[in-house]
Amino acid sequence: ETGVTQTPRHLVMGMTNKKSLKCEQHLGHNAMYWYKQSAKKPLELMFVYNFKEQTENNSVPSRFSPECPNSSHLFLHLHTLQPEDSALYLCASSPTPTTGKLFFGSGTQLSVL
Amino acid sequence: SQKIEQNSEALNIQEGKTATLTCNYTNYSPAYLQWYRQDPGRGPVFLLLIRENEKEKRKERLKVTFDTTLKQSLFHITASQPADSATYLCALDMGNQGGKLIFGQGTELSVKP
């Protein structure tokens, strides 16, 4: 275990549904990230939070809404998604954004029907 | 913009041999280059980090080289084992981007007994 826990592991949702992905880290890190991994494509950074403040939004559509209530928890709220949003969504953390290596969770495999 | 290319084809080798994976990048050299391992349905796991002023880094059976002239990093696994079978990702950290790693698409390694 990496110390980063994501729930749920799998999610199937319709285009009109609203759902949330949850990430929790037990490592005492101050930076948290959301990445998207589509089949056969590189990981794409979506959002970066440092000490609960969003420091990066990589031109992500507004149907993805992140929330970071504290340094240990990160959410990704989903609404009105498209089938092309189906992917593995990975949460990661690091001591600070400039520390280097990332600790990833196991991801949520999302399917949008 | 910065681009990364890893061996696009899957790499199949015999147990006991050395696996060599390639990561090439365009444009300017990163401050750090990282290698991760990813198993199916799991998040990436950090393996090694090498700085731009380092030529080589070792950790047990793993060795990473970094050639800023060739704009290339090589990742070696010596005495490979079937348990080394996974996808290996390289990632560039430009050092001033607040945690924004640029990932390659990964190379799938299969080690046959």
Least confident of A89-93, B76-80, B85-89, B97-101: B97-101
Distance from CA of B96 to the nearest CA of A (A): 8
Query: How many Cβ contacts (< 8 angstroms) between chains A and B?
Result: 66
Does B99 contact chain A (CB < 8 Å)?
A: yes
Q: Distance between CA atoms of B63 and B44, rounded to whole angstroms?
A: 18
> How many residues does the structure list for chain B?
113
Summarize the confidence of residues A11-18 as an average pLDDT.
91
Distance from CA of B9 to the nearest CA of A (A): 12
Mean residue pLDDT of chain A comes to: 92
Cβ pair B35, B48 in contact under 8 A: yes
Cβ pair A89, A105 in contact under 8 A: no
Beta-strand pair B107-112/B11-14: parallel
Interchain CB distance below 8 Å, A97 and B46: no
Residues of A in contact with B106 (CB under 8 A): 42
Least confident of A4-18, A70-84, B35-49, B83-97: B83-97
Cβ pair A43, A101 in contact under 8 A: no
Interchain CB distance below 8 Å, B32 and A100: yes
Per-residue model confidence (pLDDT) at position B96: 65
Band of residue B56 on the pLDDT scale cut at 50, 70, 90: very high
Residues of A in contact with B89 (CB under 8 A): 42-43
Band of residue A16 on the pLDDT scale cut at 50, 70, 90: confident
Residues of B in contact with A41 (CB under 8 A): 105
Distance from CA of A17 to the nearest CA of B (A): 24
Residue A37, class by beta-carbon neighbours within 10 Å (0-12 exposed, 13-18 middle, 19+ buried)? buried
Cβ pair B73, B23 in contact under 8 A: yes
Residue B95 reports pLDDT greater than 80: no
Summarize the confidence of residues A68-75 as an average pLDDT.
94
Least confident of A105-109, B57-61, B100-104: B100-104
The residue type found at A21 is L
- Report percent pLDDT > 70 for chain A: 97
Summarize the confidence of residues B85-108 as an average pLDDT.
86
Residue A50 reports pLDDT greater than 70: yes
Per-residue model confidence (pLDDT) at position B99: 65
Distance from CA of B31 to the nearest CA of A (A): 10
Question: How many CB atoms sit inside 10 A of residue B92's CB?
Answer: 25
Band of residue B7 on the pLDDT scale cut at 50, 70, 90: confident
Q: Which residues pair with B108 in a beta bridge?
A: B87
